[in-house]
Amino acid sequence: MKKRILHTWIRRNQKYGRILLGSIGMAGIFLLFLFYGRPKADQTEVFRYTEQQESEKSFIKYAEFNVNYAALCKAYEYDVASYGEKIHLDWITLLSYAAAHTGGEFGDRALSLMEDAAKQLQSGVTKEKLIGDLKYYPYYEEVYAAVLGGMLGEFTWQRADGGVEKKYGLTAFSPIAKGFDYSSYDDFGSSRSYGYSRPHLGHDMMGLVGTPIIAVEGGRVEALGWNQYGGWRIGIRSHDEKRYYYYAHLRQNRPYAQDLKEGDTVEAGEVIGYMGHTGYSSTENTNNIKVVHLHFGMELVFDESQKESDNEIWIDCYALTEFLKKNRSEVVRDDKTREWHKR
Asked if residue 72 has pLDDT above 70, the reply is yes
Structure confidence at residue 51 (pLDDT): 53
Structure confidence at residue 28 (pLDDT): 45
Say which residue, 126 or 16, is predicted with more confidence.
Answer: 126
Please give the share of the chain, as a percent, with pLDDT higher than 90: 77
Q: 98 near 113, Cβ under 8 Å?
A: yes
Lowest mean pLDDT among 16-30, 65-79, 98-112, 313-327: 16-30
Say which residue, 107 or 16, is predicted with more confidence.
Answer: 107
Residue 24 to residue 311: CA distance in whole angstroms? 33
pLDDT tens, residue by residue, 158-209: 777 878 889 999 999 999 999 999 999 999 999 888 878 889 999 999 999 9
Structure confidence at residue 287 (pLDDT): 98
Structure confidence at residue 195 (pLDDT): 75
Quick one: pLDDT band at residue 42, thresholds 50, 70, 90?
very low
Quick one: pLDDT band at residue 31, thresholds 50, 70, 90?
very low
- Measure CA of the first residue to CA of the last residue in the chain; give whole Å: 98
pLDDT tens, residue by residue, 264-299: 999 999 999 999 999 999 999 999 999 999 999 999
- Name the segment(s) of the chain with CATH classification 2.70.70.10: 183-329
Region 255-267: mean pLDDT is: 98
**Ramachandran angles phi, psi of 146, nearest 5°:** -70, -40
Residue 206 to residue 293: CA distance in whole angstroms? 4
pLDDT tens, residue by residue, 80-104: 999 999 999 999 999 999 999 999 9
Q: What is the CB neighbour count within 10 angstroms for residue 36?
A: 7
Residue 27 to residue 244: CA distance in whole angstroms? 43
DSSP conformation letters of 229-271: TTEEEEEEEETTSSEEEEEESBPSS--B-TT--TT-EE-TT-E
Please give the share of the chain, as a percent, with pLDDT higher than 70: 83
Instruction: Calculate the average pLDDT of the chain.
Output: 87
Residue 257 to residue 339: CA distance in whole angstroms? 7
Say which residue, 20 or 95, is predicted with more confidence.
Answer: 95
Q: 282 near 243, Cβ under 8 Å?
A: no
pTM: 0.83
| Cα→Cα distances 118→123, 211, 343, Å | 9, 40, 37
Q: Which CATH code of 3.40.50.450, 3.40.640.10, 2.70.70.10, 3.40.50.1970 fits the domain covering 183-329?
A: 2.70.70.10
Residue 190 to residue 298: CA distance in whole angstroms? 16
Quick one: pLDDT band at residue 237, thresholds 50, 70, 90?
very high
**Ramachandran angles phi, psi of 220, nearest 5°:** -115, 140
Structure confidence at residue 158 (pLDDT): 77
